Amino acid sequence: MTRRASLLLISISLCLLVAVPAGQAQKKHAPGQQATGKATGIDDIALRNADLRKGEWITHGRNYSETRFSPLKQVSEVTVKDLGLAWSFDTETDRGLEATPLVVDGVMYTTGSWSIVYALDARTGKQIWKWDPQVPRRFGTKACCDVVNRGVAVYKGHVYVGTIDGRLAALDAATGKLVWSVVTVDQTKPYTITAAPRVVKGKVLIGNGGAEYGVRGYLSAYDAATGKLSWRFYTVPGDPSKPFESPEMAKAAKTWKGEWWKMGGGGTVWDSLAYDPELDLLYVGTGNGSPWNQQVRSPGGGDNLYLSSILALRPATGRLVWHYQVTPGDQWDFTATQHIILADLEIKGQKRKVLMQAPKNGFFYILDRRTGELLSAEPYVTVTWAKEIDKKTGRPVENPGVRYPAEPTQIQPGPLGGHNWQPMSFNPQTGLVYIPAQENFFVFLHDKRLDYRPGRWNTGVDFSIFTDPPTALPTGHLLAWDPVAQKERWRVQYPVMWNGGTLTTAGNLVFQGTADGRFVGYSADKGAKLWEVTIGTGVIATPMTYEIDGVQYVSIMAGWGGSFPLTGGSIGLPATPGRLLTFALNSKQSLPAVAAMEMPAVTPIEFTATKETIAKGAGLFAQNCGVCHGLAALGGGGVLPDLKLSAPSVFNKYREIIVDGARVDIGMPGFKPWLKPEDADAIRVYILSLRNELAKKK
């Protein structure tokens, strides 16, 4: 792979100018809305009727059904060609941005890396306040997938945010002052929060992540006014020698074997929530098993409830009403935390209240959301682990050999999923769901070392086989899926995967940012490309839209991140400071061109080592470091420094940095006692061999 480093070092300078779009039309407010700038009008009634507030975006998925469909149509398939940059805001961070901004009373509330909250004037992008939770940077070592945050909730004058170190904070919407803060996790354990909270019936709902590091998942509900814990629903059972927290846990424990609780179990609630006020059901997606490998986690099998499941809870009590497990006995990191959308669809001539999800495992599920009954499930990407979902039992029919007892086994989709956290959207006018889909695979091998490391990345899967850079990059596509017919209607192919979430509008549009640094508008019915702008930074976040004073705006947070091993660094875009870009019709701020910069000279560094030592270093690197720094040291998605290009002096400090943890304060974990000084030396010569190879090419 010659592309790896040369692509990483494109540097750009996007000095976006700030402008106020013209247009002083009369103020229009939806029923009940007051332009207070304090978000005091957002209460239960407002949240239930979020769709009536056409010009605003008051909750994460735009409404409790999480459709991400906006009724605005000033920007339409006809006018979208005139969309131009209105304003931009620099978050001054260079790690990933994943938030969907909210807009309430003319104020935009959003988050950046390290859980920092921003309140901006939604007309101009001017900062009103900023709240930095001052997360100690050592917490970065617990973040599997970058120190990202997906946004806030707003309710009765407060702004709620979960922080990467596990706090839930309530801020005054007008001033950004802290009102209350609670620690929602045991901070000695490797929990993180990246999800946007939601508020249902006066309770703030927040989950957490960390399954790869060995935690037990749960969802908590806090009183929105006081921060007092109202209830907590654990998703997997704890130590059975102690009383179970709920009857649900006693039942779940019967589906586990061995001593799973010592490894956490997983099932973390790290992203999706949806709510149906009529049925009064809260829908929760749960994560993968911890560790991934069931032979390690629950030797002898079992369904391992409630891993990789969709749960319907009563929001007042947190009691389980029904559950549907999408991947029983998960063994492949198949989370069901992917975005859940509620809609009323006509299925086989009958109007049904459905819930839709495209979880990682590659099947698109339609459930009756009153009962959890499976209505249909068909593959939306290439699936090799299961033949089908049995419609009678609702269970997957697994293909032989997929539980990798001994041999390396290739499985599709891989752990990054046919679809990951990047939200899909549903347009009731076209009847289509727009999925940021991806084709990828993974080679699973049971890790015979049984080298369990408390508090660290543990999967029970042997990563040391991944010493070579991938020969082909996994690809992604925008998939327009007909959920009733369970069929693809159109797709737009992208060169790489890990593209942004989608927004769809009544203007017959779908918007999506791409990993290769573009922001694109397509016609929602046909997928015709109608508008595109090159923004230079890779996009993983999801666009949103709002209207103020008669002007419709479309916003996107642009900032590559969410570091993960497979495509790290291969995208070729630099980790530039994150930006929030907002577009409107006939706004003419032009985006400065993105200039590809030559890679600086890489000086070779002499060393002596045997081939065997370098190979040992390659294996150790793949097992221990690839998850953050990229497989084969490709670089962590352009987010972390490319280790091949370190200053020569860094190579003299490998033992201190890697074994002793000399840089733990900036998020680089120490590996004592698992790695010895000689191991650090072997990794050093492996990285040096890659560096020198690169220097030779220049």
Chain contacts with ligand HEC (rule: CB under 6 A) = 140-141, 624-625, 627-629, 640-641, 643, 646, 650, 657-658, 663, 666-669, 671, 683
Measured from the CB of residue 94, what is the shortest distance to ligand HEC in angstroms? 9
> By C-alpha distance, which of 55, 37, 58 is closest to 46?
58
Measured from the CB of residue 49, what is the shortest distance to ligand HEC in angstroms? 43
End-to-end CA distance of the chain: 14
Measured from the CB of residue 498, what is the shortest distance to ligand HEC in angstroms? 18
Measured from the CB of residue 444, what is the shortest distance to ligand HEC in angstroms? 20
Which residue's CB is nearer to ligand HEC, number 544 or number 625? 625
- The number of angstroms, rounded, from the C-alpha of 348 to the middle of its chain's C-alpha atoms is 34
- Dist. CA 361–CA 209, nearest whole Å: 19
Give Cβ neighbours of residue 359 (< 8 Å, ≥ 6 apart): 285, 308, 326, 327, 334, 335, 336, 337, 338, 365, 417, 419
Which residue's CB is nearer to ligand HEC, number 323 or number 663? 663
Tell me the two tokens of residue 326.
Answer: 């999408």
- Dist. CA 258–CA 297, nearest whole Å: 7
Measured from the CB of residue 500, what is the shortest distance to ligand HEC in angstroms? 23
Which residue's CB is nearer to ligand HEC, number 608 or number 649? 649
> By C-alpha distance, which of 311, 298, 330 is closest to 403?
330
CA-derived radius of gyration, the chain: 24
Tell me the two tokens of residue 112.
Answer: 């950046």
- Dist. CA 114–CA 141, nearest whole Å: 12
Give Cβ neighbours of residue 603 (< 8 Å, ≥ 6 apart): 648, 695
Which residue's CB is nearer to ligand HEC, number 588 or number 672? 672
- Dist. CA 411–CA 402, nearest whole Å: 7
Which residue's CB is nearer to ligand HEC, number 422 or number 563? 563
Give Cβ neighbours of residue 425 (< 8 Å, ≥ 6 apart): 67, 68, 69, 341, 433, 434, 501, 502, 503, 504, 510
Which residue's CB is nearer to ligand HEC, number 77 or number 681? 681
Which residue's CB is nearer to ligand HEC, number 553 or number 671? 671
- Dist. CA 638–CA 242, nearest whole Å: 45
Which residue's CB is nearer to ligand HEC, number 658 or number 685? 658
Measured from the CB of residue 514, what is the shortest distance to ligand HEC in angstroms? 25
Measured from the CB of residue 407, what is the shortest distance to ligand HEC in angstroms? 27
Tell me the two tokens of residue 425.
Answer: 């959207």
Which residue's CB is nearer to ligand HEC, number 521 or number 669? 669
Residue carrying the six token digits 């917490």: 139
